Amino acid sequence: MRPFQTFSYSIDMRLHIADYLIIVVYFLFVIGVGFIIKKKIKTSNDFLTSGRNIPLWITSLAFISANLGAQEVLGMVASGAKYGIMTVHFYWVGAIFAMVFLGVFMMPFYYGSRARSVPEFLKLRFDEKTRGLNAISFAVMTVFSSGISLYALAKLLEVILHWDFDVSIWMAAGIVMIYTFLGGLTSAVYNEVLQFFLIVLGLSPLVVVALHDAGGWANIKEVLQPELTHAWKYMGSADTNPMGINFMSLIFGLGFVMSFGYWCTDFLVVQRAMMAKNMNAAQRTPIIAAIPKMFMPLIVVLPGVIAIALLQPALASKGFTMPSDGKGGIDYTMALPSLISHYYPTGVLGVGITALIASFMSGMAGNVTAFNSVFTFDIYQSYFVKHKSDRHYLIVGKVVTVAGILLSIVTAYIAKSFNNINDFLQLVFSFVNGPLFATFLLGMFWKRTTSNGAFFGLLAGTIAAAVTHGLTLAEAKGGWIYPLYEIQSGMGQAFIVASFSWIVNFVTTIVVSLFTKPKPDSELVGLVYSLTEKPSYHQDKWYLRVVPLGLILLAVTIILNIIFF
Amino acid sequence: MYKKLNNLGFVIGTFFIIISLILLIGGLLSDALDNTLDYYTGFSFLIFGFLMAFFNRKNDTPLRD
């Protein structure tokens, strides 16, 4: 997740009838998908988990689309402009390795345990209190994420198109509500696939045109400082690259803790793989998804690098400008809207704006559908009303969908009133998410891990994240306990906070586990690596087997890192 | 036709065909859309839409069984 800046200026885009028509067609299609799927929804599992019946190509595209919300799209383009090609580390160091790990090692537990959610898996592996802690924090995070996404969409449309803030909020939320209420998770996922193609195909012409206008990659390398066009060369020291971190912090903080924490434990994305038809498809979902993910920097990082190149004196004749952040600097968040405004004529402009709207709606729907599953199964059914009919939980799931969207709207208005709340919430999310992977890693691969170890490890890791943030200062943020250590960039600070929280969780979980009683082996079959029969695909062709596919992906990823070294 | 609407590949393909027609026909009817980028994008979307809707049988997946 990427923090949003405050938009305080305007890019003037004027839409014509054709642009509006494209937006209307998109709205009609996403609502239409909801109506088509509505007839197929019979049970709570159909609505909340898709009944484990979704084909591989759809689960794979939905897997990456759930992470293709506007915060990611706008945020990654902004990072591309601010940090240069180093931003690809989010993909080629972070995401790909974590997705392969999820597919090969972790999906057998998630899918094989028959858990309906990640918190439910925690209950099976540990106990009710660990599930409760994870379920409540996840539910709060998703509804706030959804609200922030909604706020950002309305604010962006207000700034670039002068649309009314309130109308944008209610229109976007209303459309997401219609199709998620009608078709639940299936509807959200099918629309995510449409949104994926729209985002990729809608932004591709922009990359081609802007890259051509900038004189190609060779010319961009000529006009930019070298540290913006090399992924690794300037990472030997934190002082020599714009991200302000060295390669060790990057590999551990981003590549291991943050990326594995997000891709392997966040129910929002894992849920898409859990909908697959069988174990093999569930395992291959993140691995197949990693193929387009690997090339996503072409769509979401390269435009940022192009934008910053176009601002250089050597390319000033191109006439490209970006708004200032009100403090004398460039507002990187507006890199993508600025490019769209500069290069897209009427018609394709509608496609570009629709792609932006699609990315916001995709992120919001993903959060809402994950929220309603976790709230219904892991909070409502577990703590409030047990042993009711399936129809009861189906109705509750639908009511929770509406409630989740209304809460998102409330959050959006809170965010409007208190600009800093966005940064604050993103920070709290990182405190909760950062240490989580240590709990899963130990829980799945060390059978001695106990329920108390997991619970207190999680608590300690979260507190450690807060304390580390309070003792470090970056871009005037943090240091609220005492500014003991200054870090060059906010991103570097995030990596360090995540790393400390992970280490504290890892150590605390081990220490507490050694002093408390573990579950007997018989209760851990299917939940712990050493006690679980491994799925065997030796009879299958190589492209149906997860390990060969994963190894090929890792090899290609390493080659890409070398090319852009 | 209703069966086709139950097919996600067909739905996505149809969406891109409609968008491509707006771009291409709009370019013939209106000066505002008479732009090379609109034509290139329109043709690309048209080809993608047709492939998705009619020719990729692997994508011929019912929205739900």
pLDDT in tens, A92-135: 998 999 999 999 999 998 998 888 899 999 999 999 999 998 89
- Average pLDDT over chain A reads 88
Say yes or no for a CB contact (<8 Å) between B64 and A22: no
Closest residue of B to A200, CA-based?
B45
Distances (CA, A) of A85 to A354, A477, A510, B53: 26, 24, 38, 36
CB distance A409 to A150 below 8 Å: yes
Looking at residue B48, its pLDDT comes to: 95
Q: Is the pLDDT of residue A274 over 80?
A: yes
- Smallest Cα–Cα separation from A280: which of A457, A489, A112? A112
What is the pLDDT averaged over residues A139-155? 86
- Report residue A520 as tokens: 């007997």
**CA–CA separation, A5 and A226 (whole Å):** 27
**pLDDT band of A25, cuts 50, 70, 90:** very high
pLDDT digits 0-9 by tens, A456-469: 999 999 899 989 98
Helix (H, G, I), strand (E, B) or coil at A472: strand
Looking at residue A445, its pLDDT comes to: 92
**CA–CA separation, A153 and A359 (whole Å):** 9
**CA–CA separation, A450 and A460 (whole Å):** 15
Say yes or no for a CB contact (<8 Å) between A36 and B6: yes
pLDDT digits 0-9 by tens, B43-64: 999 999 999 998 765 544 555 4
Residues of A in contact with B27 (CB under 8 A): 347
Kindly tell me the sign of the dihedral angle through the C-alpha atoms of A49, A55, A56, A62: negative
Sheet holding A472-474, edge to edge: A477-478, A472-474, A485-487
Helix (H, G, I), strand (E, B) or coil at B56: coil
Q: Is the pLDDT of residue B13 over 80?
A: yes
Residues of B in contact with A201 (CB under 8 A): 16, 44-45, 48
Amino acid (1-letter code) at residue A75? G
H or E stretch at A300: helix A297-300
Q: Is the pLDDT of residue A544 over 90?
A: no
Tokens 């968008």 belong to which residue? B19
Residues of B in contact with A198 (CB under 8 A): 15
For the beta carbon of residue A40, count every other beta carbon within 10 angstroms: 19
Looking at residue A1, its pLDDT comes to: 39
| Domains annotated on chain A, with CATH | 17-420+537-563 (1.20.1730.10), 434-534 (no CATH)
**pLDDT band of A61, cuts 50, 70, 90:** very high
Picking from B1, B7, B21, B22 by the largest number of A CB atoms within 10 A of its own CB, the best residue to mutate is B22
Q: Is the pLDDT of residue A5 over 50?
A: no
Q: Is the pLDDT of residue A486 over 50?
A: yes
pLDDT digits 0-9 by tens, A285-317: 999 999 999 999 999 999 999 999 999 999 988
C-alpha angle with apex A198: A335 to A293, nearest 5 degrees? 75
Distances (CA, A) of B58 to A502, A537, B49: 42, 22, 15
Report CA A337 to chain centroid distance, whole Å: 20
- Smallest Cα–Cα separation from A146: which of A345, A340, A405? A405
Closest residue of B to A16, CA-based?
B32
Say yes or no for a CB contact (<8 Å) between B18 and A25: yes
Percent of chain A with pLDDT over 70: 95
**CA–CA separation, A304 and A77 (whole Å):** 4
Q: Is the pLDDT of residue A191 over 80?
A: yes
- Smallest Cα–Cα separation from A203: which of A358, A45, A430, A329? A358
What is the pLDDT averaged over residues A189-211? 92
Q: Is the pLDDT of residue A9 over 60?
A: no
Tokens 């859990």 belong to which residue? A274
pLDDT digits 0-9 by tens, A396-419: 999 999 999 999 999 888 877 765
Interface A:B, Cβ pairs < 8 A: 92
Measured CB to CB, residues of chain A less than 8 Å from chain B are 16, 18, 21-22, 25-26, 29, 32-33, 36-37, 40, 46, 53, 55, 57-58, 186, 190, 193-194, 197-198, 201, 205, 209, 343-348, 350-351
Query: Mean pLDDT: which of A41-45, A47-51, B45-49 is highest?
Result: B45-49
**CA–CA separation, A231 and A221 (whole Å):** 13
CB distance A264 to A118 below 8 Å: no
Report CA A359 to chain centroid distance, whole Å: 12
Looking at residue A148, its pLDDT comes to: 84
Q: Measured between CA atoms, how close is A548 to chain B, in angstroms?
A: 23
Measured CB to CB, residues of chain B less than 8 Å from chain A are 5-6, 8, 11-12, 15-16, 18-19, 22-23, 26-27, 30, 32-33, 35, 37-38, 40-42, 44-45, 48, 58-59, 61, 63-65
Cβ-in-10-Å burial (0-12, 13-18, 19+) of A333 comes to buried
CA atoms within 13 A on the CB side of A315: 23
Residues of A in contact with B21 (CB under 8 A): none
Helix (H, G, I), strand (E, B) or coil at A271: helix
Give Cβ neighbours of residue A341 (< 8 Å, ≥ 6 apart): A11, A12, A13, A160
Give the start-to-end residue ranges of the domains of chain B: 2-56
Residues of A in contact with B64 (CB under 8 A): 37, 40, 46, 53, 186
